[in-house]
Amino acid sequence: MSIPHNQTAAIVHKAGGSIVVHDDHPVKKQSDLAPGECLVKLHCTGVCHTDLHCALDDWPLKANIPLIGGHEGVGEIVAIGAHTSHSPVKVGDRVGIKWLADSCLNCEQCRKGHCDDAKLSGFNVDGTFSQYVVSYVRHVTPIPEGFDSLAAASILCAGVTVYRALKYSQTSPGDWVVLPGAGGGLGHLAIQYAKHMGLRTIAIDSGADKKKLCEELGADLWIDFRESKNIVGDIVRATDGQGAHSAIVTAASASGYQQAIEYLRKGGTLMAVGLPGQATLDASIFFTVFKSISILGSYVGNRQDAKEAIDIAARGGVKCHYAVRKANELQDVYESMKKGTISGRVVVDWRET
């Protein structure tokens, strides 16, 4: 396959700056690929709230800027570095690129899914806001045949993240799970994965579009946080006066965390997923202990979580609701994310560039 010398790429040149689209960004040549690296010609990429945080550089951990963001890419492998041994993928395979781009596969934390020396797509290595991206053969995720690339993209981060959180939420079929931010990119997928697992869902968000989406996806109860006079009371009443069994907080604000301790039942589990830049988790120590509440952080997912989340979606158990945009619209997408006005997900189609 012919590989061009240059490509289109969307780059943030300084923290808090705008995204600038360049048509002359170099493509790494096959001869320059290191063993274990692969070059992927992207079909598309999802856009995640994490990409906005990286561009704003408002996290305690700092991104490498200048930055090509993006970590939900689907495309075709067009080259593999020389002297790569026992590669699980080959040229021509369609694969997904995730937040975790590469890890050492050797350290204790790596074996447990939290490598101390991880390469993170769109954070400390170039991501998927480009037509071609260098990735790593042992970490790309094969995409099942027949699963549309646009539909698969956001499963690679948003889908994997909520799937893992639900998987470890200490719930059983029939239990109640609360989903603050349910109409957003992660939240609308969480509704579907929760239903797939047999859970009953309470969707919290605001706005007619998000209400319509959540109800169409099968949420058992909708609560508009701007209209409710007492969110905690609404949840407790809906759950037989006991409270919910778990909360999967995907919203990037502190308020979703602060209420959870109050509306969770005894023995309930708070899964912390959304990443506000500087906010803290304020919880009553007394009632956390008295109610035996578990508070667990859930960070994206490992390679097995990704395979499971992709397989469920490929079989039709989960469908990402997305709008297709072009690369030159990314800055507008970021502005919409700041305002919280995006329902579902946004996917950039590189084949239309």
- Residue 180 in contact with residue 311, Cβ under 8 Å? no
Q: For 183-239, what is each residue's pLDDT tens digit?
A: 988 999 999 999 999 999 999 999 999 999 999 999 999 999 999 999 999 999 999
For the chain, the domains span 6-156+301-352, 159-297
Name 296's bridge partners.
271
What CATH architecture is 159-297? 3-Layer(aba) Sandwich (3.40)
- pLDDT, position 168: 96
Average pLDDT over residues 20-24: 95
- Residue 108 in contact with residue 47, Cβ under 8 Å? no
Angle at 153 (CA atoms; ends 84, 37), nearest 5 degrees: 15
Classify residue 240 as left (phi > 0), alpha (psi -120 to 50) or beta: left
C-alpha to C-alpha distance for 174 and 198, rounded to whole angstroms: 6
Average pLDDT over residues 138-144: 96
For the record, the structure tokens of 161 come out as 């993240």
C-alpha to C-alpha distance for 246 and 168, rounded to whole angstroms: 10
CATH T-level topology, domain 6-156+301-352: Quinone Oxidoreductase; Chain A, domain 1 (3.90.180)
Average pLDDT over residues 121-139: 96
Q: Do domains 6-156+301-352 and 159-297 have the same CATH topology?
A: no
- The DSSP symbol for 352 reads G
Q: For 25-63, what is each residue's pLDDT tens digit?
A: 999 999 999 999 999 999 999 999 899 989 988 888 889
Q: Pick the closest to residue 256 from 216, 223, 214 (CA basis).
A: 223
- Residue 40 in contact with residue 135, Cβ under 8 Å? yes
Q: 348 by DSSP, 3-state: which? A: strand
C-alpha to C-alpha distance for 340 and 177, rounded to whole angstroms: 22
- Residue 156 in contact with residue 96, Cβ under 8 Å? yes
Burial bucket for residue 142 (CB in 10 Å: 0-12, 13-18, 19+):
middle
Average pLDDT, the chain: 93
Q: 88 by DSSP, 3-state: which? A: coil
Q: Residue 336: pLDDT above 70?
A: yes
Number of neighbouring beta carbons within 10 Å of residue 17: 16
Q: What percent of the chain has pLDDT over 70?
A: 99
C-alpha to C-alpha distance for 334 and 49, rounded to whole angstroms: 8
Beta-sheet pairing, 264-272 with 100-102: unpaired
Going by pLDDT thresholds of 50, 70 and 90, the confidence category of residue 82 is very high
Q: Residue 247: pLDDT above 90?
A: yes
Average pLDDT over residues 126-143: 97
CA distances from 346 to 194, 201, 237, 312 (A): 22, 24, 35, 21
> What's the pTM?
0.93
C-alpha to C-alpha distance for 100 and 136, rounded to whole angstroms: 10
**Element holding 38 (H helix, E strand):** strand 37-47
Q: For 272-300, what is each residue's pLDDT tens digit?
A: 998 777 778 888 889 899 999 999 999 89
Q: 345 by DSSP, 3-state: which? A: strand
- The DSSP symbol for 74 reads E
Going by pLDDT thresholds of 50, 70 and 90, the confidence category of residue 252 is low
